[in-house]
Structure 1
């Protein structure tokens, strides 16, 4: 049985903030960025696929927690730098880098199933931090497109980031909850490779599509 007491507390707090941000028209406009951040990650299949691959690669709860925390810290940093215009990076290379991160994790997942342990499996927090820097640039570009409210830039940035973290947490917990019965199910051995091949194929498709945008 998974013990997610601290995560449930954090999740409940984020839900309260989400309700507050959407229910009160006269509230601080910066808090309206909380549901926007949550929607951005939950409606972003590439970010979700990366988290899914990470959860499959690192099934141990403690190591997964460290990896997800490192990912969150890294993308919070580059999200802020990009949204505030400190690090102006064109969006197409960032989107291609996000797709590439999925391909790399899919390859690592398949290699680990074959008994070859790479960097992501041996040091998941380090790999998650490095990839988180890239994903944060994508979050920051999205927030930059939305724009920040004048005089409340800092609060809006924090609210958007909280929304991203809340959506990320909800998705990881959902994956963990669904994965437990699947691991116990008696499935044919060949099905074990399907997630890696499926994620790899989709990541390659996105990568090719986004590279074409860069050279067009």
Structure 2
């Protein structure tokens, strides 16, 4: 649709829309092939490679193909840029799918490269549309750090899950262990999924993420219903460094299992479909660190306030966490039904 609108190619718009609505990947690929000049012009006008300020010329290699990721068709287009001379510094610029087209919002372009002795990766968007291969490593990693931080802040489902964890934690030790467990779990699956080593359909991952929000929030509500004002009291504490009671250990295990699923959701949001590479691995690690810093910041701000409220007004603390947990649980159940039904 973007290419057809830009190139005033009505036949591409008609053929592409019909193929998309029919879910026919063969017809989608055929539409791209028969209108390859329109597609190539759209992409090459918005993605450029320059070598020391001299533009490199793109050539399409083979026909565009259609793949599928999380149930959504993606067009794969391979271009070969020919540069006028062999240089060790290149600039890549991307303005694909801008917001003003109205089809997608907040496009992120993930670039990985290996040129001569240089390799690296970068995240481009409307605020930072270009990068140079001469860019310092900390600048590249800073982009992925911010990308991770922005992703958590813009993902209301993950923030609600974190609030449910905070509301149900009785001691600082519990929220720290829960956050650590969640971090370790989603880091493992995030890395495996983003590097293409594990693949789970989004139709499975997204409903389970919604259900995890409802379950963790409902866990605290059940504790309030069963123990009332003693819901935040420890039962018989265990021995060892963690000193968790049975309920604490069970909750920790549940959080770890749900963390594995959330990691798949983080990877799906990046949309990376790339083979194993150390360059991409380090960038993903920095992305993950960005997520964790925001997560720990929220805990550091919210949990101390909750502790003060519980100590000064225990009944108000129970009511506050109960209301928050009820709202989060209801929201999680609504999302679960919506994602299962596809609405």
TM over 0.5: yes
Shift of 1:191: 5.4
1:27 aligns with 2:132: no
Match of 2:35 in 1: none
Find the partner of 2:307 among 144, 159, 180: 180
Shift of 1:125: 2.1
Tell me: CA distance 1:54–1:152, structure 2 relative to 1, closer, same or farther (3 Å). same
Match of 1:143 in 2: 270
Match of 1:53 in 2: 164
1:73 aligns with 2:184: yes
Find the partner of 1:194 among 323, 330, 338: 323
Structure 2 CA distance for aligned equivalents of residues 33 and 191 of structure 1: 36
Q: Which runs of 5+ in 2 are unaligned?
A: 1-127, 232-244
Match of 2:282 in 1: 155
1:170 aligns with 2:281: no
Match of 1:4 in 2: none
Shift of 1:175: 1.5
CA contact (8 A) 1:108 1:120 kept: no
Q: Which has the higher contact order (CA 8 A, sep 6+)?
A: 1
Structure 1 CA distance for aligned equivalents of residues 279 and 317 of structure 2: 54
Match of 1:134 in 2: 261
Match of 1:206 in 2: 335
Structure 2 CA distance for aligned equivalents of residues 69 and 187 of structure 1: 28
Shift of 1:100: 0.2
Choose between structure 1 and 2: higher strand proportion: 2
Shift of 1:144: 2.7
CA contact (8 A) 2:196 2:274 kept: no
Match of 1:38 in 2: 149
Q: What secondary structure, in the 3-state scheme, does the structure 2 residue paired with 1:123 have?
A: helix
CA contact (8 A) 2:309 2:317 kept: no
CA contact (8 A) 1:75 1:133 kept: yes
Shift of 1:143: 2.2
Structure number with greater Rg is: 2
Structure 2 CA distance for aligned equivalents of residues 198 and 55 of structure 1: 14
Q: Which runs of 5+ in 1 are unaligned?
A: 1-21
Match of 1:115 in 2: 226
Shift of 1:74: 0.3
Shift of 1:174: 1.7
CA contact (8 A) 1:95 1:210 kept: yes
Moved more, 190-199 or 72-81: 190-199
Shift of 1:193: 3.0
CA contact (8 A) 1:120 1:126 kept: no
1:62 aligns with 2:173: yes
Q: What secondary structure, in the 3-state scheme, does the structure 2 residue paired with 1:115 have?
A: helix
Shift of 1:122: 4.4
CA contact (8 A) 1:77 1:133 kept: yes
Tell me: CA distance 1:125–1:193, structure 2 relative to 1, closer, same or farther (3 Å). closer
Post-superposition CA distance 1:151-200 (Å, at most 9, x none): 72011111111111111111111211332343334649765531222111
Shift of 1:44: 0.9
Q: How many residues align?
A: 192
Find the partner of 1:95 among 182, 193, 206: 206
CA contact (8 A) 1:63 1:124 kept: no
Match of 1:124 in 2: 251
